[in-house]
Amino acid sequence: MTAIAVVAGDGIGQEVVPVAQEVLALLHPEYEFYPVEIGYGKWKKTRTACTPDDITLLRGADAILFGAVTTPPAADYRSVVLQIRKELDLYANLRPVRGEGVDIMVVRENTEGLYSGIEWQEEDRASTLRVITRKGSERIARTACRIARERRNLLTIGNKANVIKSDAFFRDICIRTAEEEGVPYTTAFIDALTLDVLMHPGRYDVIVTTNIFGDILSDAAAYLVGGLGLLPSANIGDSHALFEPVHGSAPDIAGQGIANPVAAIRSAAMLLAHLGDTRGAALIDNALRLTAAKGITTPDTGGTASTREVGDAVCTAIRRLM
Ligand code: NAI
Ligand code: MG
């Protein structure tokens, strides 16, 4: 029995995750889905956004389908997303950016760097410790090399080694790993790289980088392919895997039924591929293509369809393709 933990979360997570779950259930009626309540909504009720029991529920799943959670600017609120990534050791954040003339995989280190969570505040100073370890760098570099070999076999190591010592450490470990793995690589400074990715996306295949740089680069690259509403991601560790849209809870459009469900549906496709059903993943991709070709899209991508209407059209297309 395959068990999928479903965390809809906050805001539009509540709208797009049910659609993605429906797509999965259509292809795999044998999957068992169980909801796990996590997020700001839960915090408002209980003062805890994610309990140890919730983590245990997540650990018990074969894969986790995740929406988004709101992080309020409250000093006593700890980021749930960071907590889950750390507890489940989801060290590789894979963010494919695909569209016309663009096929890039951002491989972002997901557990350390500037998101190490080691932070403190004094009167007139706030500090965050940026930790880069050999183990963390080596395993993300190996993941990136493996993915590069399955793709066009070109690795770009994004870094800021010219200014930040911990980034020189990261870059050098990535270089050594790529050489060991026999994967052709180039290195590039992340600021210039971001501009070049936007100007010449066709030059790039797999880009490996540290936590915050990967976060920013992948959001920026979303510009190339129609926006945040389309981008899926996978958070992979050695024992657990979580799939979520790149976007957040979008409070500005939540509750209106117009959130784009494509990022969540594509995340479901990545979940299937991870569980070994590459045919199902390809089927979802085809169904999404057919639906977009018919002009059935939400307002963020120029259409007039609702979340539900896009979801229904994708399910109809899948039924036809199955
Ligand atoms: P956001 O991604 O939620 O929204 C940015 C902009 O893109 C908004 O204008 C929004 O309407 C639009 N957008 C995002 N997804 C869309 C979709 N599926 N369809 C149509 N339009 C979409 O980022 P923002 O506004 O910076 O953050 C909002 C909240 O989400 C914050 O509390 C933040 O902490 C949280 N967040 C959570 C993440 C997670 O759970 N993994 C990731 C990013 C942000
Ligand atoms: Mg982000």
**Longest CA–CA separation in the chain, Å:** 62
| Closest listed residue to residue 9, CA positions, set 254, 239, 299 | 254
Looking at the CA of 212, name the nearest ligand. 2
Q: How much is the pLDDT for 62?
A: 98
CATH 3.40.718.10-classified regions of the chain: 1-90+237-322, 92-227
Each residue's pLDDT tens digit, 212-239: 999 999 989 989 998 999 999 999 999 9
| Closest listed residue to residue 155, CA positions, set 188, 196, 116 | 188
3-state secondary structure of 19: helix
Say how many C-beta atoms besides its own lie within 10 A of residue 229's C-beta.
Answer: 26
Each residue's pLDDT tens digit, 98-148: 998 999 999 999 999 998 889 999 999 999 999 999 999 999 999 999 999
Residues constituting the chain = 322
Task: Indicate if ipTM > 0.90.
Answer: yes
Is the pTM above the cut of 0.90? yes
Domain made up of 1-90+237-322: CATH architecture: 3-Layer(aba) Sandwich (3.40)
Distance, in Å, from the CA atom of 108 to the CA atom of 211, rounded to the nearest integer, reads 6
Question: How big is the chain by its Cα radius of gyration, in Å?
Answer: 19
Considering only CA atoms, which residue is closest to atom 38 of ligand 1?
248
Comparing 55 with 76, the larger pLDDT belongs to 55
The CATH fold of domain 92-227:
Isopropylmalate Dehydrogenase (3.40.718)
**How far, in Å, from the CA of 84 to the mean position of ligand 1?**
18
Query: Residues enclosing ligand 1, CB less than 6 A?
Result: 12, 16, 68-71, 81, 228-229, 244, 247-253, 259-260, 263, 298, 300
Looking at the CA of 249, name the nearest ligand. 1
Q: How much is the pLDDT for 82?
A: 87
How confident is the model over 155-171, as a mean pLDDT?
97
**How far, in Å, from the CA of 229 to the mean position of ligand 1?**
9
pLDDT class for 260, splitting at 50, 70, 90? Answer: very high
